[in-house]
Structure 1
Amino acid sequence: MPRLIQLSLLLILGLVIACAPAEEAPTENTPAAEASASNHQAFRPPPERFNRSQSSPSWMVSYQAEPDPIPLNQHFRLLLNVQNAKSRQPAPDDLQVTLDATMPAHNHGMNVKPELNLLGNGRYEVQGLLFHMTGYWEISVQLQAPGAEAETVLFGVNADVKPTAR
């Protein structure tokens, strides 16, 4: 009989441990973690992020999309205009410019690598961009003048499925 009691207690102890609530995982205070915690609700950037002209301490960058609005699951291109933020003079040709796009709420980027070409006089063409998912995207433009720190400007874009005309 004592053996039956021991087995019963062991079984009850196992059930109590198995049914105990799990400890909560530590949370991060990142936009991606917050969006994930809220059932992937849209990341809410500041409204000014959607302006097509953004500035860093040294540079003002504006863009024009072709086609406009930016389509979902189709290649598009951007024409960038980069100016000195103070003098409004076109960026010099030796300014290093790179561009990428990411979805902060999902912590991933595009499935393609865009190609950036200098057109001169502060103008650049970026080809081969593609937003493969609906939602909020951030276009990040990094600018670095020789001997200076890199600076970044961010543009917010909502990629949505547009209804087709019938």
Structure 2
Amino acid sequence: MDTTAGMRAMPRHEAPNDEWRAWADGYPSFASAGLRCVEISDTTAVFDFGGTPFPLNPNGAVNGGIVALAADQIMGVLGARLAPTGSMPVTAVLQVQYHSPAVAPLTLTAQAVHSGRTLQTIEVVVHDARGRRCSTATGTMSVGALEQRIAPAVGA
């Protein structure tokens, strides 16, 4: 199922941060994941997580898979912001450490650790409503030409 129909085109690398924030908030998976972009700059981004229809864990915390999904989505947006126009990052490695139960609402702060021509490293730190660090996610993003990233699969 194509969930990108009607989606706004990705801004150019040089576009103002407000355009990037609006683009992130308009991305279909962000609303589904309960994410809202609070701010984004050349190397950082902050997102709020209010919750999803996915059930909470028995202790009232957000499921770790949902935390990983949110971190990965945020890495994709910040990676796209970092990448040159005409290129797109994809997740090559995603590592998530869970420090304490993530009781929503959550704040997720992304920081570019490294941004090169072909590889990016992005860290996302997750804090709960009390300001406790719940999780830390680190991702390695592989950057390539946008046309290569959206080509149909072999045999499709």
What TM-score do the two structures reach when normalised by structure 2?
Answer: 0.30
TM-score by length of 1: 0.29
